[in-house]
Structure 1
Amino acid sequence: MTYINTLGQQAKVAGRQIAKLSTAAKNDLLNQVAKALVAESAYIITENAKDMANAKENGISEIMQDRLLLTEDRIAGIAEGVRQVADLQDPIGQVVRGYTNLDGLKIVQKRVPMGVIAMIFESRPNVSIDAFSLAFKTNNAIILRGGRDAINSNKALVTVARKALETAGIPADAVQLVEDTSHEVAEELMAATEYVDLLIPRGGARLIQTVKEKAKVPVIETGVGNCHIYVDKYANLDMATQIVINAKTQRPSVCNAAESLVVHADIAEDFLPQLEKAISKVHAVEFRADERALKVMD
């Protein structure tokens, strides 16, 4: 049996068991995971330091290093995200619609677990816990395949989650990490039709396109993202300047960092030079502008 088949078989077994969990049991476990993440911060940071050292040695950009970095505050933020998932309304069992036909037969559409979800994502270690918590909340087992740059961080985070599951008497295989980060094993996961009920790629356009082309299991295609800010002619230009600077430079590595700026023509001559001057004092930002914008910028 191959490595992926072993993970898949274990996920199937775990999935059948967690499908029976009550809302209260799921929420309690998620809160225990959140507590464990904070308690194990030192261990997680130690493992993350290995990935950070490798990233620096391999010449990975500072922005990508920031995406990879885990600190006590960031781990606390991950834990808070888990608690927020626990607080969400449980969708499982909800009746979407239904009716009784002329023969008295009741036909109902109800939300149920998918079974086993696989997620392939890039080097942002918090995704491993985000994905697990959402999958578990909906009674699904999950197989995670992260990027090789974050392998030690992902191992540590998944280890903490699995220990919390075991302590609660819940199958630890409700969450598993693909520790072989080769492309061949990733493609095997994409083709594991006997075990994977749904595959979700999360990352850049190249990753998503690769999954679309090679996956044999059902796939949910996610967007690659392009965050816009629009500055209208009636905007307070000082406020707009601060908003753009914050959205672009506070943490350029995050998914919701601004990438595109659209400015009303009536205020472009005043706003763009002001923004260009102000933002340069905070962070080096490269502007790629159209001809009309270039004419009013330095």
Structure 2
Amino acid sequence: MQLLSTEKKNAVLDSMMKIIENEKERIIEANQKDLNAFIRDDQALYDRLVVDEAKVTGMIQAIKEVRNQEDPVGNEISNITLDSGLNIINKTDPFGTILIIYESRPDVTIEAAVLAFKANNKILLKGGKEANESNIKLVECWHKALAENGLDKDWITLMQMNRQETQSFLMNPSQKLDLIVPRGGERLIDFVKQYAKCAVLISGRGNNFLYVAKDADWKKSVEVIVNAKTDKISGCNALDKVLIDENIPNFHEKVRELANVLQNSKVELLTDGKVSEVLKNQNKIGEEQVWYEEFLAMKIVLASTSSQEAAMEKINTYSGKHSSCIMTEDAEKAKLFMEQIDSAAVYHNASTRFTDGGQMGVGAELAISTDKLHHRGPLGLKQLVTNKYYVFGNGHVRK
């Protein structure tokens, strides 16, 4: 694969920002076709699909931020010269060709492509059929930006395939694939893992938990819970499960207060444990599977827990390993929780909604990885490279 100069890559991104600004109305019109065709039975999916002026402005800003970041390719990680005189340099290197499979969100067509391209990777974009018109228009913009700078359009390709065609492509790709990122639910992830012939980096489900310790600041806890649940229900960083320590002072009154606040925000409640004894009129969790479920809806589980240890065990058993939070005023309790919880992001007294590349200072992200190899958390520009060893000798042979 051709290694492009930083200047060439930035020139493409400069062109792209101008093109998107000029094509703003056409992009929104294309998106409106998708919205008109969408059967609005899934509010979270619909919210992800919408492209308005603010979304287009956000796309431009995402490109600008990546354009201004340091080029991640060719950076020296280490440089050593052995006693033998052999010089060994380890440098960052592009993956090659990345396939991302995602649902609904047309802004991923911008963010995934800008990150992959700046990191000198080709990218294949397999968006959901519900965003087809939007994605076609956005990739047309990418191709125009590439052409303006003398580059082939195959740097960024929109894959328009159904499930069967995608399966065939994964099993027998028509071109070399180096990395696949399935960005969606467990069914999509399992499907890709079953058929892929190259590395798969998992962008897992949310199903995020929050534990309220017995010494927690209650006012602070309520504010964090409401924000994490209601700020954006379609986000993978939204809150789904709350575990309240049954030893917290005035347990019954606090549970009722939290329930009232959430219901005033139109959140449906499910209960378990001693919370069910307090909120007798609310539905109880009917089956264990609910504990594994990512809701992507105005729905939340309120449950009791006997201790921090019990809460940590429950979270590590059922969560999506995305984001977990403890509300406590005890720094040692928070430290233990954050060390022992198996999640990509762990929080102390803060909303899980901050698990986001932009909010965490990473910038635009390809996905939130819940994998442990080769990176966990927001996949930003610096994470879209691998490494390569350059070994320089002078007729060296191993004896």
Same fold (TM over 0.5): yes
CA–CA separation in structure 2 for the residues paired with 1:37 and 1:292:
54
Map of 1:294 onto structure 2 = 276
Are the aligned partners of 2:8 and 2:149 in contact in 1 as well (CA < 8 Å)? no
* Equivalent position to 1:123, from 101, 104, 129: 104
The answer to whether the 8 Å contact 1:190/1:199 transfers is no
1:3 aligned residue? none
In structure 1, the partner of 2:170 is 190
Contact 1:97 1:109 in 2 (8 A): yes
Opposite residue 134 of structure 1, the aligned amino acid is L
Secondary structure at the residue paired with 1:111? Answer: strand
**Structure 1 match to 2:131:** 150
Aligned residue for 1:9?
Answer: none
Q: Residue 74 of structure 2 corresponds to which residue in structure 1?
A: 93
Number of equivalenced pairs: 277
Counterpart check, 1:248 vs 2:235: no
CA distance in 2, matches of 1:188, 1:219: 16
Residue 262 of structure 2 corresponds to: 279
CA deviations 1:21-65 (Å, max 9, x no partner) are 222332332243233223322111111111111113xx4322221
Equivalent residues of 1:193, 1:216 under 8 A apart: no
Which residue of structure 1 aligns with residue 37 of structure 2? 54
For 1:3-29, what per-residue CA distance to the aligned partner results, in whole angstroms no more than 9, with x for missing partners? xxxxxxxxxxxxx34x2x222332332
Give the counterpart of 2:93 among 112, 119, 126: 112
**Do residues 269 (structure 1) and 252 (structure 2) align?**
yes
Amino acid at match of 2:274: R
**Separation (CA, whole Å) in 2 of partners of 1:100 and 1:270:** 67
Tell me if structure 2 keeps the 8 A contact 1:193–1:217: no
The letter for the 2-side match of 1:190 is: L
Q: Could you say if the C-alpha distance between residues 260 and 84 of structure 1 is closer, same or farther in structure 2, counting changes exceeding 3 Å?
A: farther
Alpha-carbon separation, structure 1, partners of 2:188 and 2:275: 33
What letter matches 1:244 in structure 2? I
Whole-Å separation in 2 of the counterparts to 1:163 and 1:220: 30
Is 1:164 aligned with 2:145?
A: yes
Displacement of 1:236 after TM fit? Answer: 3.5
Report the counterpart of residue 296 of structure 2 in structure 1. none
- Local SS of the residue matching 2:180: strand
Pair 242,135 (structure 1): closer, same or farther in 2 beyond 3 Å: same
Q: Structure 2 CA distance, aligned partners of 1:223 and 1:107?
A: 37
- Residue of structure 1 in register with 2:17 after alignment: 34
Q: Tell me the distance in 2 between the aligned counterparts of 1:153 and 1:236.
A: 45
Structure 1 position 222, deviation (Å): 2.7
Unaligned runs of 5+ in 2: 281-399
Cα distance in structure 2, aligned partners of 1:264 and 1:28: 55
Which residue type is aligned with residue 162 of structure 1? H
Q: Distance in 2 between matches of 1:38 and 1:233?
A: 52
CA shift for structure 1 position 231:
3.1
Alpha-carbon shift at residue 198 of structure 1 (Å): 1.6
CA distance in 1, matches of 2:208, 2:33: 32
* SS across alignment from 2:224: helix
Map of 2:376 onto structure 1: none
| C-alpha contact 2:13 2:63 (8 A) present in aligned 1 | yes
Greater strand share, structure number: 2
Query: Which structure has the highest helix share of the two?
Result: 1
Counterpart-to-counterpart distance in 2, 1:35 and 1:237: 48
* Separation of aligned partners in 2, 1:232 and 1:28: 52
Aligned counterparts of 1:272 and 1:26: Cα–Cα separation in 2: 54
Consecutive unaligned residues of structure 1, counting only runs of 5 or more, are 1-15
Deviation at 1:194, TM superposition (A): 4.4
- 1:37–1:232 CA distance, 2 compared to 1 (3 A): farther
Mapped to 1, the partners of 2:209 and 2:65 lie a distance apart of 27
Task: Say if 2:271 and 2:279, in contact at 8 Å, map to a contact too.
Answer: no
Per-residue deviation, 1:199: 1.4
Paired amino acid for 1:85: V
Alignment partner of 1:32: what SS? helix
**Inter-partner Cα distance in structure 2 for 1:242 and 1:41:** 37
**Aligned-pair distance for 1:101?**
2.3
Return the offset for 1:99.
2.1
Query: Residues 146, 281 of structure 1: CA spacing in aligned structure 2 closer, same or farther, 3 A cutoff?
Result: same
Distance of 1:108 and 1:198 partners within structure 2: 24
Q: CA RMSD in A?
A: 2.0
Aligned-pair identity (%) = 34
Q: How far 1:232 sits from its partner (Å)?
A: 3.5
